[in-house]
Amino acid sequence: MKIRELVSVNDEVLDAFRNLIPLLSPSSALPSRKDLETIVNSNNTKLFIAEEGNDIIGTLTLVFNKIPTGEKAWIEDVVVDNSARGKGVGKSLTQFAIDYAINRGINKIDLTSSPERIAANNLYQKLGFKKRVTNVYRYFNNK
């Protein structure tokens, strides 16, 4: 397995994301080629992929935020193909993102995970993430 930063979008990448995103969020719209290209070309967002042979078997998004209290990173949209679960793909993607952020001088990396994702929550804690006592809110514009 190889982990790398995605630097361009081709048909194989687009197909992989169209297969992976519904595993993470079945109600989310699938990303278009333009959506993925915008992310790949962003200075503040990095897409990492896990590959086995010629297949993309997982992805993770790392988002950088510069705010008055310092620079932080958020890990988002970690998803691994069903056929590759339990093989360390999520761990490798997450560790790659941690290392990438630390090399960029980031000391605070946040993520959220649904409580029912027991294996993912255990993994994040094993990698050194500490559960925070906070409320997470989301606003939906239903107009």
In the chain, the N- to C-terminal Cα span, in Å, equals: 44
Radius of gyration of the chain (CA): 15
State how far the Cα of 119 lies from the Cα of 124, in Å rounded to an integer. 9
Residue 141 is predicted with a pLDDT of 86
Token pair listed for 93: 């993607």
| Alpha helices, DSSP H, located in the chain | 11-24, 33-40, 89-103, 118-126
H/E run at residue 86: none
Cα dist. 90→3, 50, 97, 123, 124 in Å? 10, 9, 11, 8, 9
Q: What CATH number does the domain containing 78 carry?
A: 3.40.630.30
Q: What's the structural domain count of the chain?
A: 1
Q: Is residue 23 within 8 Å of residue 90, measured between CB atoms?
A: no
Q: What is the DSSP letter of 64?
A: E
Instruction: Note the pLDDT of residue 140.
Output: 87
The answer as to whether 78 is a domain residue is yes
Range of the domain at 29: 2-126
Residue 81's nearest CA partner among 31, 2, 14, 18 is 18
Which parts of the chain sit beneath pLDDT 70?
Answer: none
> Which amino acid appears at position 59 of this protein?
T
Q: Quote the pLDDT of residue 8.
A: 96
Q: Please report whether residue 76 resides in a domain.
A: yes
pLDDT score, position 19: 95
Q: How confident is the model at residue 139, as a pLDDT?
A: 87
The predicted model scores a pTM of 0.91
